[in-house]
Amino acid sequence: RSIRRCAEKCKNGMFLALGTVFLLGSAFCFQAREIQVAQAKERENAMLKKVAITFDDGPNPDYTEQLLDGLKERGVEATFFLLGKEAEKYPDIVERMSREGHLIATHSYEHVNLCNLSDEEAIEQVDKTNDVLYRITGLYPEYIRPPFGCWKCNLDYETQMIEVLWDIDPLDWKTGNASVVAKRVINQVEENDIILLHDASESSVEAAFEIIDSLKEEGYIFV
C-alpha cells in the first residue's frame, strides 16, 4: 500500500511540474508576442510623419473640456502648457488631461514675461506652478513654454526645465474664425513641427479639430 501511495504522490508531483512548465511557457509566449506587436507598431510609427499639437494658457473652465472630448474621440494626445494659477482653480480638468495621456507642462504661474523679472521671481513662477501640477498629477513637469517665448538661458540650469517654443503660430487668440486659423496651420505645416494654439476660445477648439482631421488624412500622427 505504501508503494502505491508513493507512486500516487510521484504522479501528482509530475502533473504539478508539467502544469507549471506549461503555464510558464504560455506566459513567455504571450509576452514574446506582445513584444513583437509593440516592435511592429514602433516600426510603423517611425515611418509616419509626426507633428505635435500644443495648447497654452489653460486650463480654461469653458473650453478645455470640450477640447479634451474631441481629442479623445480622435485618439490624439496633445501637450498643455498650463498656468499654475488656473490649474489651482480647476484641478479636475488637469487631472483629466493627465489621466487621458496628454503631456502636462508649465507656462508660468500668472502669465508674466519671465525676462522682466529677477531670477528669483522667475524661478518662483516656475516652481510654484510645478508644485501645483505635482500635487494634482503626481508628476513634476519637465518642459516649460515661457509666456511670450521669453526665457533667460541661465534659467535652464536654475529651474532644471527644458524650454519648448513652437514652429507654427497661427495667432488663434486674435482670430475668431476657426477655418482661417486651421488653414494657416495646414498650409504651413511640415514634418516634426510644433503647432501652437490656445484652449481659450470656441474658434481655437474648432480649429484644432479641423487641423487634426486634415493632418490625419495627410498621414500625420500626433505625438
Site string for Zn ion, 15-54 (x = CB under 5 A): ----------------------------------------
Site string for Zn ion, 133-162 (x = CB under 5 A): --------------x---------------
198 catalytic residue (yes or no): yes
69 catalytic residue (yes or no): no
Site string for Zn ion, 101-140 (x = CB under 5 A): ----------------------------------------
Of 107, 193, 198, 199, catalytic: 198
- Those residues whose C-beta lies under 8 Å from the C-beta of residue 78, and which sit 6 or more positions away, are 52, 53, 54, 55, 71, 102, 103, 222
Grid cell in block for residue 44? 510603423
- Closest by CA to 215, choosing from 78, 61, 81, 122, is 78
Grid cell in block for residue 169? 503660430
- Those residues whose C-beta lies under 8 Å from the C-beta of residue 64, and which sit 6 or more positions away, are 55, 58, 90, 93, 97, 199
Return the amino acid letter for 137.
T
For Zn ion, the closer CB: 78 or 215? 78
CB 54 within 8 A of CB 77: no
N residues, the chain: 223
Of 56, 57, 172, 199, catalytic: 56
- Out of 52, 53, 54, 56, the residue judged to bind Zn ion by CB under 5 A: 56
| Residue 57 lies near Zn ion (rule: CB under 5 A) | yes
What is the contact surface with Zn ion in residues (CB under 5 A)? 56-57, 147
Q: Would you name the residues annotated as active-site residues?
A: 56, 198
